[in-house]
Structure 1
Amino acid sequence: MPDQPIASVPIEKHDLGPEWEEAARLAAHNLGLTGEISELSPEHWQVVLASVEARMGLRGVALPPGWRRTLARQAGRLEPEDRPGARVAALRAKREEIAAQVALELGLGELGGLSPADRDLVDRQADETIAGCATPATEPADCSDADRTMRRLLSEHRALA
């Protein structure tokens, strides 16, 4: 069989119309989110995407395949898997929020003012809380006593993980 050269097929990157970015900006504004849409947290970006989907559906616009990724690219955002280490950084940041909440619940105050021994205690408690309240934990802890803030933080941590 003769060696035929392999021709690469260019991947077309279709852009969405400007109304898509405008819908995202309007959604962020109406949700009370400040700043550029390219700088929104991953959680807020997901809420904006849900709003854009609903808005475009109400307008009778068909959602093209890959519209979320295309909109993220056009808005100056990259999906987490496109940014090296972004998911790890987001998980670390969420874990730090959980540790801050643990410190408050233990009556130790802000993380920045803790002694090394108190910080170790908070870190151990945060790790135990995350592991114990994880959905696939072998023996899940009873997390019903966690306040609303802690339940939200744990839920967001699980979503990132």
Structure 2
Amino acid sequence: MEECSIFTRKRKLADSTNDLTTKDLSDALSIKYTKDSERVRSQITKSVADASPLRLKRIKESIPTPTTTQIKKYGSEEALALFLDLELSKEKYEKLRTSLMRHGADVLPGYKHITQAKINSRPLRTEFTEVSAKANLQDLMDHTAKRLLESLPEMRWKFFQRN
């Protein structure tokens, strides 16, 4: 029955539990927990079954309610990728960030972090014009190797840093 969906299990159990009282089911569950060496669960089952309505309310309030999944913040580079993919202007990015923050989701870094990520994503001594960019080949190779190594898991990166 473990392989069945929750709906199938409920349907199968509905027939077999029609003749049992809640107290019988609670006692059976407590006994099963004890047999499975889960004494704490057994004790909780017994205390809930025998609890007054006020005690049940307090027990329910003490149980943490699952919140939405933990919101993960964008890293600077990830935010830069989003910024470029959506072809956002600085104004639109700031408006999006502010709107998200007003709704309780502080997930995007400030614009200055994006500009810093943009600077870090290019080799040193790169010259820019409106239509081109020019970089020293060795600087480009060094920068590419550094970025590739940074993308490796931390232990591998530390190995390469020592050598």
TM-score, with length taken from structure 1: 0.24
Higher relative contact order (CA 8 A, sep 6+): 1
Which of these two proteins has the greater Rg computed from alpha carbons? 2
TM-score, with length taken from structure 2: 0.24
